[in-house]
Amino acid sequence: MRFAILASLLALLAVGNVGRTQDKKADEIVRESSYLEKGWGVKLKAVSRIQVQAGKDVEKRELLQLSFEFEKDLEPKELKELRALFDPIEVSKGIPRLWFHVFDEGNVLIWKSHAELIGREGEISGVKGDVFRVSTASYESDKRKMKKIAVRPPEKME
């Protein structure tokens, strides 16, 4: 009898844990960074949304914080190219920017933005295993839930 009760409780716990795992996965943001992966061995590892407030009388603003990891060591030429893509000063000189494309649950483009980088943490080192983060503004004005973010190659600006 005790064995049957114990087996039933374990089965209920397993079902409950599966449900929680599925719920967590349903809220996860899909990350696509094949352009960076193929070109420089850099993978978008994590996306988080953070609320910041610039001042006392300023409305809170949402930022996207993107964590990138090097999956290989880069050669000096590759490292220079990659740094230019993430450097706001180089971007202002006319060097093409990366684009962030954000999609909803139906894979409909909600918004896209060239990489208007607000901040960067860590060094773009080119060393396998190293991680750096960049922050960019979130423009999700219609409040649809973001389900996917893709980092794509520079587009020609006209």
pLDDT of residue 40: 94
106 contacts: CB under 8 Å, gap ≥ 6:
none
Evaluate whether 90 touches 120 at the Cβ level (below 8 Å).
Answer: no
pTM: 0.72
pLDDT of residue 146: 81
For 134, half-sphere exposure in the C-beta direction (CA atoms, 13 angstrom radius) is: 20
23: its two tokens: 């719920």
User: Residue 29: which pLDDT band, with cuts at 50, 70 and 90?
Assistant: confident
pLDDT by residue (tens digit) across 90-143?
555 666 678 888 888 899 988 887 766 777 889 999 999 999 998 887 765 555
**Surface-to-core class of residue 36, CB atoms within 10 Å of its CB (0-12 exposed, 13-18 middle, 19+ buried):** buried
- Residue boundaries of the structural domains of the chain: 29-152
Q: Taking Cα atoms as reference points, which of 21, 27, 34 lies closest to residue 49?
A: 27
Query: In whole angstroms, how far apart are CA 156 and each of 3, 42, 64, 99, 106?
Result: 68, 23, 24, 11, 27
Query: Distance (Å, rounded) from C-alpha 61 to C-alpha 126?
Result: 31
pLDDT of residue 6: 37
pLDDT of residue 92: 56
Helix (H) or strand (E) holding 35: helix 34-40
pLDDT by residue (tens digit) across 52-98?
766 666 566 777 889 999 999 999 999 998 988 887 665 556 666 78
Evaluate whether 149 touches 32 at the Cβ level (below 8 Å).
Answer: yes
